[in-house]
Structure 1
Amino acid sequence: MFTALLLTAGTSPGVSQAADPAPVLEVADPFIELHTAPGRGYPVFHVIEKGEQVELLKRKTNWYKVKAVSGETGWTKATQLGRTLQPTGLPADLPEVSHGQYLESSWRVGFTAGMFEESPSFSLTAGYRPLTWLGAELEAGKIYNESVTSDYYGANLVIEPLHQWSLTPYVLAGYSQFSFDVRQKVLLSELGDADGVTFGGGLGYYIGRNFLIRAEYRVYSVSSNSDSTGLSEWKIGLNTFF
């Protein structure tokens, strides 16, 4: 376990003066190791020794990104900085995972449940966001009730134009594929596989730590051979990001 001393922001050498300066830590234990990315599997490329100062930049799950006075920037496990102290000697509160960390995260997985027309639906999702306001998402799900059992798969683009809000609206558009069985004549007269174009929107709400709730409504234009019909679905789900 490693310790650090939280100094007064803006008074240490090598730290820029800013409107909201980042906390500056002084290493109190023999050293801390910097990894190239937030994960144990990433290599250690630099060691910061006792007495040196580091600037705390941001947190992603259980890892902190820090910058040494010499300029090296890397990631260290949160437990290495877990026993920090204020100048008064009291424990310091390091920044927690927040909505800002959600915005900076690239990957997201989740589970959703809802109603596809009048049939319960469940799905698993996995998404990647190359930009703060734009992401891509894959999903696989099932539609269930007494007379319906069907699989569906989809790929969507998700746009969050007002991503800075904790309650974040978004829109999506994508492609879906369904495997309708003989019991679903009520949905589509031509049976078998069907393709669908998806449009929808919803709200995401950051609830704390690494979790986000999403509520969503979609419409599908589903085509099979010469038959086409409009279907709808609403769903709610829990997502985790990293």
Structure 2
Amino acid sequence: MNEIRPLPLPRTVPADVAVWWLDLDLQAPLHPSDLALLSEDERNRAWRFHRHADRVRAVATRSALRQLLARRTGRRAGELRFAANAHGKPELDSGAGIEFNVSHAGSHAMIAFSSGRPIGVDIECHAGAAEVRELGAHVFTRRERLVALRPGTAIDDFMARWTAKEATLKALGQGIAEYLQAISILPRSEVGEGYQVLHDRPEWGEIAVWPLDAPVGYSAALALQQEHPWAVSCPCSV
């Protein structure tokens, strides 16, 4: 049985932001009520997965997204329609002033909402991180490589920064591969204030990023584009 619950957020996250946490039973059969809420295209995409666990993640997460959006919009979950931007970030075709983002890894998923401000969320499983850690020189800026983001092992630090960068780029609606080195994620001196995001693109404005609580072996992050863009002068690749 899949379970969904609100996730406690850092104290500086704005009140209009909510994140829901899903615990997924990847061995359970697909639930007919979940499938019934999905569009034909969504069901077809789920059936293209070869592994049952991937189908469960796709169906359960999409069903939960539809149900949560239905509560916020007052519309029927099965009647909601989605569009996507050039990088594939989904949005409601009717707008409705609701921003959302979804991420899943292993047996967990997260769904984040905000009232109008672009939002991004990412969760990653540490399994296999020992291999991807060698990618640090290619995906992290020089400034990032000079300072640890969080205490713990090198893998903990790598995954914390990776999820923060991915959540940020998802909030911006930008491609991950193209812009990984366009931003630097650095620690702040203030406790509980999340991470510092530096970039040199005025059109992106200010971005707030926070680490989120996650089970052992996982890392998660939340990013929110602020209401009033500001120009940041930062040679992030240096």
Structures share fold, TM-score greater than 0.5: no
As a proportion of its length, which structure holds more strand?
1
Please classify the TM superposition score into its range, dividing by the shorter chain length: under 0.3
Relative contact order, CA 8 A, sep 6+: which one is greater? 2
Compute the TM-score of the two structures, normalised by the length of structure 2.
Answer: 0.24
As a proportion of its length, which structure holds more helix?
2
